[in-house]
Amino acid sequence: MTYRDLIELVVQRQMGIVGLWKTLETLNDVGLAVGDDYRLVGDGGYDDLERLVTRFNEKYGLVTVMGCKIVVGRKAREGNLALPKILK
């Protein structure tokens, strides 16, 4: 489990919650991108995860954080990865 995996998990969830296009726009807002297979282009780290979830919260509100917090938390525990405050 890596931060890249966690970011992809967030992307997958947000495609369901805010839809494909809003998800792609929000990724772009924070300098991230996904390929045709919706896998993250390049590496992603703790800061990228924090910026992405924070941006979803700013644009679409708390529901977007609630919608990924539990599953990301579960996966982070499996990989012993620290989480940004917004996901705790």
Partner 1 sequence: MSENIDTTKAVEIADGVYWIGFYDKGAGFHCNPYLIVDGDEAVLIEPGSVPHFPMVLSKLCRLIPFEKITKILVSHQDPDLCAGIPKFEELVYGCGGKLEIVTHSRASVLIAHYGIRSPFYQVDQNDWKLTLKSGRELTFIFSPYLHFPGAFMTYDSKTKILFSGDLFGAFSFDWNLYANEYYTEAMKAFHENYMPGNRILRAAMDKLDSFDISMIASQHGSIINRDVKKYIDTLRDLDCGDYVFTPGQD
Residues of this chain that bind partner 1 (CB under 8 A) = 12-13, 15-20, 22, 60-61, 63-64, 66-71, 73-74, 77, 88
How many CB atoms within 10 Å of residue 53? 25
Cβ–Cβ under 8 Å, residues 38 and 13? no
In the bound state with partner 1, the residue whose beta carbon lies nearer, of 4 and 12, is: 12
Shortest distance, position 73 Cβ to partner 1, whole Å: 5
Shortest distance, position 17 Cβ to partner 1, whole Å: 5
Its sign, for the CA torsion 8, 41, 56, 26, is negative
